[in-house]
Amino acid sequence: MGDVIAPATFDIPGIVGQLRDARHRWRTSQQRARDPGGRELPSRDAVAPIVQGLRGALFPMRLGPADLRQQSEDYYVGHTLDIALNALLAQVRLELRYAARHQSRATARHDGPEIDEAAIDARAHALVQAFAASLAPIRTLLDSDVQAAFHGDPAAGSVDEVLLCYPGVEAMIHHRLAHRLYELGVPLIARIVAEQAHGATGIDIHPGAQIGPAFFIDHGTGVVIGETAVIGERVRVYQAVTLGAKRFPADTDGHLHKGLARHPIVEDDVVIYAGATILGRVTLGRGSTIGGNVWLTRSVPPGSHISQASLQGESADHHSPTVATAA
Amino acid sequence: MGDVIAPATFDIPGIVGQLRDARHRWRTSQQRARDPGGRELPSRDAVAPIVQGLRGALFPMRLGPADLRQQSEDYYVGHTLDIALNALLAQVRLELRYAARHQSRATARHDGPEIDEAAIDARAHALVQAFAASLAPIRTLLDSDVQAAFHGDPAAGSVDEVLLCYPGVEAMIHHRLAHRLYELGVPLIARIVAEQAHGATGIDIHPGAQIGPAFFIDHGTGVVIGETAVIGERVRVYQAVTLGAKRFPADTDGHLHKGLARHPIVEDDVVIYAGATILGRVTLGRGSTIGGNVWLTRSVPPGSHISQASLQGESADHHSPTVATAA
Amino acid sequence: MGDVIAPATFDIPGIVGQLRDARHRWRTSQQRARDPGGRELPSRDAVAPIVQGLRGALFPMRLGPADLRQQSEDYYVGHTLDIALNALLAQVRLELRYAARHQSRATARHDGPEIDEAAIDARAHALVQAFAASLAPIRTLLDSDVQAAFHGDPAAGSVDEVLLCYPGVEAMIHHRLAHRLYELGVPLIARIVAEQAHGATGIDIHPGAQIGPAFFIDHGTGVVIGETAVIGERVRVYQAVTLGAKRFPADTDGHLHKGLARHPIVEDDVVIYAGATILGRVTLGRGSTIGGNVWLTRSVPPGSHISQASLQGESADHHSPTVATAA
Amino acid sequence: MGDVIAPATFDIPGIVGQLRDARHRWRTSQQRARDPGGRELPSRDAVAPIVQGLRGALFPMRLGPADLRQQSEDYYVGHTLDIALNALLAQVRLELRYAARHQSRATARHDGPEIDEAAIDARAHALVQAFAASLAPIRTLLDSDVQAAFHGDPAAGSVDEVLLCYPGVEAMIHHRLAHRLYELGVPLIARIVAEQAHGATGIDIHPGAQIGPAFFIDHGTGVVIGETAVIGERVRVYQAVTLGAKRFPADTDGHLHKGLARHPIVEDDVVIYAGATILGRVTLGRGSTIGGNVWLTRSVPPGSHISQASLQGESADHHSPTVATAA
Amino acid sequence: MGDVIAPATFDIPGIVGQLRDARHRWRTSQQRARDPGGRELPSRDAVAPIVQGLRGALFPMRLGPADLRQQSEDYYVGHTLDIALNALLAQVRLELRYAARHQSRATARHDGPEIDEAAIDARAHALVQAFAASLAPIRTLLDSDVQAAFHGDPAAGSVDEVLLCYPGVEAMIHHRLAHRLYELGVPLIARIVAEQAHGATGIDIHPGAQIGPAFFIDHGTGVVIGETAVIGERVRVYQAVTLGAKRFPADTDGHLHKGLARHPIVEDDVVIYAGATILGRVTLGRGSTIGGNVWLTRSVPPGSHISQASLQGESADHHSPTVATAA
Amino acid sequence: MGDVIAPATFDIPGIVGQLRDARHRWRTSQQRARDPGGRELPSRDAVAPIVQGLRGALFPMRLGPADLRQQSEDYYVGHTLDIALNALLAQVRLELRYAARHQSRATARHDGPEIDEAAIDARAHALVQAFAASLAPIRTLLDSDVQAAFHGDPAAGSVDEVLLCYPGVEAMIHHRLAHRLYELGVPLIARIVAEQAHGATGIDIHPGAQIGPAFFIDHGTGVVIGETAVIGERVRVYQAVTLGAKRFPADTDGHLHKGLARHPIVEDDVVIYAGATILGRVTLGRGSTIGGNVWLTRSVPPGSHISQASLQGESADHHSPTVATAA
């Protein structure tokens, strides 16, 4: 006698029903009407190839297909942009429509005006056109970032190595695209673009952050840069640096105030070493150096050299007042 | 005269032999019998699509296929569960069998009893059934996490954005699945599920950790939560927070004691800001706030506000005793 | 009247032209001749499957294909090596040729000697042969790392779990391969290999770092180990540990000195707990323990126990002088 | 001195220009306006997965995914139909819109009415609903075909083998779907479905052909069945049989009359052996047998036995008047 | 007011129900018990990669991976065989189990003996071992086919071209594998293998056909060779040749006799030109030539030259009695 | 007690050895030196994407990617050509080098001259340039074929349907590319291109055949057109038509004469109905019609109407002297 493996049986209908009930409770709690239609939001799977295409269009010989030749770059760039921009247009439409519906649901009477699809389409189109016009300036900004990385890291062998290997550069490619999308009014797509870099590099830059040219993040894991941060030119930042907010102000009924300026301003030529934490709407004056692991919640004047020691008023270790953390 | 590129030759047989010898030495050192058969362990490649399927079954319109329609959700959920649960069953069998063999090898005489395959199959089946029954409660817990993130982050535009973009939510989807698997007795599969989130988000939660509803991790990179940690309801945690163990007790012959409670207990409504490190089986009392970068190895009573300054007994900076680190 | 969605039109030729101009400005600024040919650099897409193959060849039953059987391991290993080594040879040729061209461009007169292709091919071949001969020793080193992780983590259930799940082990597989490539003279490929692990694990080890056997990194996110670090045997390191450099010496015209020894030496049996930062060419003496979050810029003798408290000369907390951070 | 392979250069811009000119000439000759937009026709790549899905929905345990279980068939069927029918709807819209534009271009004045998109959408929706309602009857028809094949071929081991292996059955699955689409008014999509079977099996059935239940094609390569053919119940046909048209009637200015009944009527229980050619609007009476390679351009009464010999008035071979060709 | 495209709604539950009813009627008509378990039959998707692997193992440098090197052939062959043979074993088990269940259902009383799984496993194992031992002889037979094609076609430039391009050779690779499987007792898998070649080449050889060495099929489309055909050495056949059966004998209650010898015997060195049809258990004597389009239902002695003309007793065209059809 | 499935063991080393011996015997019989290097022949897997690319470049809006827009056609065409032509160059180099080696092996003394790689590279480059210059004329020829199909088939609804659905058009796209490659001196690549169409459509056109504009093949399965066939303008051909050779002349030692003109010449405006077989270097005069299944081995004057009846001198069936076979 041999015995067969009995086919497993699970109570699929029962579990399906439980999950349906759970979804129903959630949708009810969120005041969502039952909607028979399809996906109403931009999707990560749709955004990923768009960013991939834009990266290739920006740096065809380094991030484009391996069998590309310089003499045919423009064909590749044109074809890739055509696909990527039209795909982006579809995602932008989804987000604008979603935002309009969300807003009308939040504010309007049940007999309020319908969403104006034609207006949304026109706005989406104009938005992507404006985004496309920004690509060349973004490339130029990114060139300055690559240059900054090459000059800032003694281990960098060439600008090509920087572009191929440095997670900080990868994060900045995403950020400069995401920031433009954020400015133009599609913060959700912008956030998806930013989170792809966060997942790949451990560098978490909110798309709202304003960052000047020649920005260099070394190593990068654990860096967090908040939504309203403003960063000048030629700034250098190491791993695990936080440019964050202090406790958020809340109104009397406990809702957070959204959108207030609550992150630091970092002026030109500042260097912030690994693990430093700068919190609140403070200003780091031009040319300052912030030492590793420093915890700072006040502004410092231009040319400051801040270290843990200096903060604690201790005189020990005077000869190396600004200890840097870089590998 | 033209010259061809000489085909490269490598001493493949030699290297193959050296690698075989190295494997042989390892297996001998591990007292492993030569076993002509196939893979005996769960595999990452097999677990990944299972988790992918479960995520889709939990949130069909957000994490399922892009062309899904709400009216057909149940079909998708049922089909996806059928595939995923049966695939999980196969992996569970592998782990239970591996554990049984491992154990019998460790303890038994060479003529000891054979592994009871029928019993393992029955246990695997019961285990997956229990897991399946937990899916709807897990969905409800995750809904509370999404809600918590939306309320806890001034930058969050909608609950949909939170579900799509927040790495903390992604980590919690994995954790709540992994924790249930851990409870049910397949810690290795649970760990594989957890490590997939760790790789993608930089958030490292051991599957053993017990976490209450409405848990929110912001930014997340560098968060570490240990195996025996216990976390209450509505807790909020920022990047680089560690809920860790102090030095592990070892017995007289130097072996670590495994399985002892050695990580913190965090009561309801606690907030822990970025970079804080809490070590050992201490308790953070209900409603406490732990400031950024704080290093804490003792319990604190409910309602405490702990900052670096307060720990050092310094009176400076009295007006902002709890400095938060959040972007 | 129904209205069709007007097809979107973007000024693709205009944007293509702007991007071409941006590339042109960059290439001019970098003194690059217009080169009609193809890619001249190793590529991430080409290196990834090579590393995948080498991982499988090193650990066929754990990291090779799921349907492999032990009795046929050697066939798999031989076939996989043949493909991987020849693919590596092609990438090595690209890097050596790129380096030669780069160098001749940097140093030579315009009428200088051509690149010697035959010499490059011969060197590439010898290099890959030497690399291949290192694979078995690398396997043995990695076995010691796996063993160290199993003994060092109370949560580890078996050596198999360690190999399947621990990001620290994944990072070390990449590092030991990358380090050998770095030694042999292809630092760019080495860096690509290292960055793949960095992206997947958050552990950033420069390929130049010298690391002895039985090295264990737990959790790992945020670990940074610099180019000239030297690490002994049986060293253990936790998440967010930095072995970094202090401020780089620059020469009189502001160029960084590259290649100087500027990172710590860590002797045998040292343990460094989470978040500790060790900077500069200091030595951590044999058997020392460095506590969590410690900031250290000086050498310590063998057997030292360094904690935040001890550094601040405080006597509190004497009974647990070395607080560990581990989950 | 070694020599590099000179990168190949082709005059891509020149060839692109020539191809553009060729396209321009064609479009001018076809009176096509320049249209900046996208694809206006159904596509083979889009139709293929739809048919794949419908095949799975019709025969889930045989043509659906390998890991399906009978207890969960309905979930698979429902999910697959949802995806396939909505994808079909998009293709149907394309064809209806294309047909409307084509027609208005052919007939209308330049200032004629616009295409009524809303009407097209409504018609597309109704069409796919009608198609969906036909799926169960089509399954029942196909069951009769499978049964017929099993009874008609001495080499067939089981109905399962027939469904898995017989190209005649594969062709009929496609035909019965394609014929329904043809009836409903999307002949182009119908043709794409038919041609996929033609390419895979060598059996070329025009979607317009009307075929009764229990139809069996053995071997099948080279079978051609024309647009207006009418086939009764329980008919059997072997490889290379043609049910074709005679010379097409043309009007006085040489244009072919399209759509006239011009192919044979085959009544119930007829058998047609390999290589037989039946041409024109003739009728093969109920229960007749047509021998291999017979060339027939006239009707035959019920119960006829036609062979090459009988056609040539020869009395030889009397004992086996109807020679069958079947392997 | 702009209008959104209304999401399409189909009555998915209704159609799912209708399809379930249709399946239920079929299963009832086939006396199939409701079986909650999974797939019980070999699958085309599973067999395809097995054949792909076997083709590569037989001709590694021509049909194996493009980056293979001769010096490493054996590794590739060994690894590929290991995967393919074990995958084949799984399919063989499915077919043997299916056959056993089918048979017991057909013959036995309801309380009959269970299927003996252990015996099936043993038989499957022995079967695949026997198959594996046939691979080298099959390779040698195929070499003779390649050689025959090269010598038989004036358009053939080299044996390599023949192996790469000739559909007749592709069909024979499949047939020689399929025939061995058929002999060993898995006719369904054999048929799947044969039908893959049929679909790709239009050449339909039943796996049961016995074919000697140095067999050459030119062009091939439309060739049909029946189950009990026997073909000698050095036979040559052109497109659309049929070696078929005459009308099948049926027993008194109308069931076909299965398995009787009913197809031609073709002796050594026979040539059969395009479109010729040979029917029934006749013998074509050694060295005979059968002209194009000839219809033959009787045996011919060795050395015969049969043409359409000679069959019709006409004296015209005497000077080219055997007209060949070959391109 | 349950029993485990014993892992299957096959004698892989034994079978590998047998296959190695079989390969060795073959290589010895073919006088092939043992060659440690890689693939020396063009490959089907490499040619397929090249043809795919060329099809897209010829008909971007119909056979290119689904998301292409007319305004960006040129970018797509340019990028696709760049990739395809350079990939073709690599394959052409392989074939030319293979041919040179083959030839030198066949003719030369062992100490004969080496292969001149530089000359081969130059020839390959010139060849692909000439091929590229032919693409626009080929597009124009194919436009005439599409037009001919549309006018020749009463079932064709539009030229677009013809391009999307007609296997005859697919075969001609491949043929016109393959023929140009054949003319330019790479017959093996040409054959691979042709066989891809043969496999997909059942239409077997030798790349050597010369075919004028506006050629239309309806249905197509089983069509065979030989290497030296010459076909004029506006010719129409139906399924299973053969333009073949008679018995090949052989020289005194039995070797076939290769390359002689041995297939029919078909003048302008000829129609050949299904199943007709025309053999040998005969001429079908301008405007002739050849009836279905006709067997013809002699030339016919312009304006002939040939049917089976007319060939047999029979007066029956006078009213339909030229019976067409077309569906």
ipTM (interface pTM): 0.88
How many angstroms away from the CA of D297 is the closest CA of chain E? 20
Tell me, what's the pLDDT at C327? 43
F111 or C258, which is more confident? C258
**Which amino acid, one-letter code, is at B293?**
N
How sure is the predictor about F249, in pLDDT bands with cuts at 50, 70 and 90? Answer: low
Provide, as residue numbers in chain F, all residues whose Cβ is less than 8 Å from the Cβ of A74. Answer: 75, 78
E199 at interface of D, judged by CB pairs closer than 8 A: yes
DSSP track, A152-217: H-TT---HHHHHHH-HHHHHHHHHHHHHHHHHHT-HHHHHHHHHHHHHHHS-EE-TT-EE-SS-EE
Chains in contact with chain B (at least 3 beta-carbon pairs closer than 8 A)? A, C, D, E, F
pLDDT at A168 over 90: yes
| Out of C79, C86, C87, closest to residue E79 by CB | C79
Binary contact (E3, A37; C-beta < 8 A)? no
Instruction: Establish if A117 touches chain E: CB-CB under 8 angstroms.
Output: yes
Percent of chain A with pLDDT over 70: 82
pLDDT tier at E114, thresholds 50, 70, 90: low
When CB atoms are compared, the residue of C70, C78, C322 closest to B35 is C70
Residue F213 has pLDDT above 90, yes or no: yes
Q: What is the pTM of this model?
A: 0.91
Q: Which residue of C has its CA nearest to A323?
A: C246
Is the pLDDT at F320 greater than 50? The verdict is: no
Q: What spatial distance separates the first Cα and last Cα of chain D, rounded to whole Å?
A: 66
Residue position matching structure tokens 């040292």? C270
Q: A82–F75: do the CB atoms touch at under 8 Å?
A: yes
The predicted pLDDT at position D6 comes to 47
pLDDT of residue D257: 62
Q: Please state the rounded mean pLDDT for residues E190-210.
A: 97
Mean per-residue pLDDT for A79-98?
94
DSSP one-letter code for E108: S
Which residues in chain B have their CB less than 8 angstroms from residue C121's CB? 5-6
Asked if the model's pLDDT at residue E79 lies above 50, the reply is: yes
What gap in Å lies between CA E283 and CA E302, rounded to an integer? 9
- The per-residue b/e assignment along D224-235, b for 16 or more CB within 10 angstroms, e otherwise, is bbbbbbbbbbbb
Please give the pLDDT value at position E256. 58
Per DSSP bridges, beta strands C277-279 and F236-237 are: unpaired
**pLDDT (0 to 100) of residue A10:** 84
Pairing of strands D289-290, D271-272: parallel
Does any CB of chain E come closer than 8 Å to the CB of residue C27? no
Decide if A19 and B58 are in contact by the 8 Å CB cutoff. Answer: yes
What pLDDT, on the 0 to 100 scale, is given for residue F33? 59
pLDDT computed for residue A319 by the predictor = 32
Q: Has residue F309 got a pLDDT over 90?
A: no
Q: Cβ of C72 and E87 within 8 Å?
A: no
Beta bridge partners of residue F295, listed in sequence order: F277
For residues D256 and D237, what is the distance between their CA atoms, to the nearest angstrom? Answer: 29
Whether the CB of E49 is below 8 Å from some CB of chain C: the reply is: no
- Backbone Cα Rg of chain B: 24
C117 → closest Cβ in D4, D37, D116: D4
- Residue E217 banded pLDDT, cuts 50, 70, 90: very high
Q: Do E116 and A2 touch (CB under 8 A)?
A: yes
Residue A245 tokens read as 């907010």
> Which residue has 């760790």 as its token pair?
B198
Structure tokens at C146: 């796996």
Q: Identify the helix (H) or strand (E) that includes residue C119.
A: helix C117-133
Q: Backbone phi, then psi, for B283, in 5-degree steps?
A: -120, 130
First to last CA, chain B: 67
- Token readout for F186 is 């790479």
In this complex, the residue of A4, A35, A118 whose CB is nearest that of residue E2 is A118
**CA-closest candidate to residue D326, choices D111, D155, D137:** D155
Nearest-CA distance A78 → chain D (Å): 13
Q: What is the pLDDT of residues C39-70, one digit of tens each?
A: 678 989 999 999 999 999 999 988 998 888 88
Cα distance between residue A129 and residue A124, in whole Å: 9
Q: Give the chain E residue nearest C69 (alpha carbons).
A: E82
What's the average model confidence in pLDDT over F219-237? 97
Weakly modelled stretches of chain D, pLDDT under 70: 1-8, 33-39, 104-114, 247-258, 309, 311-327
Using CB atoms and an 8 Å cut-off, which of residues 83-112 of chain B contact chain D?
83, 86-87
Structure tokens that stand for F104 in this block: 């030198």
Work out the pLDDT band at A82, boundaries 50, 70, 90.
very high
Top pLDDT among B137 and E9 is at B137
pLDDT for A327: 43
Is B215's pLDDT higher than 80? yes
Residue C322 has pLDDT above 60, yes or no: no
Whether the predicted pLDDT of A309 surpasses 60: yes
Nearest neighbour of B240 by CB, restricted to C158, C159, C240: C240
pLDDT of residue A238: 96
Average pLDDT over residues E45-51: 95
Q: Does the beta-carbon distance from B38 to F9 stay under 8 Å?
A: no
User: What is the per-residue pLDDT for F68?
Assistant: 86
Compare CB distances from C72 to E67, E71, E78 and report the shortest one's residue: E78
pLDDT-derived band at F39, boundaries 50, 70, 90: low
Phi-psi region of E84 (alpha: psi -120 to 50; beta: other; left: phi over 0): alpha
Q: What tokens were used for E307?
A: 């043409």
Q: Does F158 touch chain D (CB under 8 A)?
A: yes
The predicted pLDDT at position F133 comes to 95
Min CA distance, F146 vs chain A (Å)? 27
Picking from F185, F182, F206, F186, the residue whose alpha carbon sits closest to that of residue F194 is F206
d(C-alpha F206, C-alpha D47), whole Å: 31
